[in-house]
Structure 1
């Protein structure tokens, strides 16, 4: 179970294909996300801390768009409430298979962890059970914008009183100068982590039609429209942020 360095976009491409979470991406994903998303390790570990506050006994804890299960692992390390069950969902078969390997390795290292089920599923169609915690860590931005409100409404309907949704997303900014500055700083972050101009340009071309970020105001409005009573930003690094939404 080895992870490679992300060199997927290091060679010139005649035509850059849209980004997909296939086996090539899965193979380099830990390196890719660490070098592309500022603050990612901090977000992941502290979602585990947040989970320990909101998780209630005998409820489901959902990790939607679980990828390789980093959030699921953090949740399992921190949550001690009895009877909780973690469900990690992803629609990528390659991600699900590797996630299962990572979680099996975690089981061998720690005792008395929460049970977890890794499910290959479309979160837009999945029937949620009563839950005290739902996490979406850089997932909503890959959902059709026209269906984001519908999904959040279904999540809100499944959340128990006292529960929470933790939503992490890349942000866009309505102010052009703010957008330009934070975009440039994010590119500097990538350069500092060893990505070349070619890699940056080709990755941007691959992902621009797949990932559609929203502004913080859009997130707030959509969450309130879905029935959440309070939306609290708890983390931001450059143009990446994480929110707590309470029912």
Structure 2
């Protein structure tokens, strides 16, 4: 069950929505400790930079503090580990992926009254610094480096191919519910890779609370049900996907799966 409605999610700090979601996914998630640790980091940042009145210098100071002195960094070796998606592990290890590192940095930036926003760029989560409508900077939260629109175009081409169109809306600030939906997808993929199917199912249920009836998410939930030996539930989800997306290349293969799943005896869990 989604812990907040969409309006609540979009009004609270991104990191608070993430904490609530992670507590729903992992029943042992230490939400209170995470909130306390974030408060401590914010207080330390405020004390370190309290005498700096120039906001640009304050931002540079926060980048230096976060990435150099505290040692937060992108995890190059185990990028797809669930440890990089869950905030407690990110705070413990000081390693993460763009969205988890970026959410923490955004929280700190807001405490320092810096004009930082989140951007759900197609290739990854970004941070946007809005000094003015004509003076905008972009930060890659994976390493804390500023990136130009030229570099971002290169990322997009590398992700989607040489004919990818760079649309201005790709750099718009995005609402928390959209960012959290993408974050849940990352968490779910990591948990599936680690065969933590019950937690992955909770991710899928939360994603469907954000986007009810999404056929691709329901297809993925069907796969999770299948791994949990809930075969008839898997068949129902696959059938929904086939009905909604009959032209999808996966539909024909799933039709065979559905027939086989319905032939299995019903198991009560």
TM-score (norm 2): 0.25
More strand by share: 1
TM-score (norm 1): 0.27
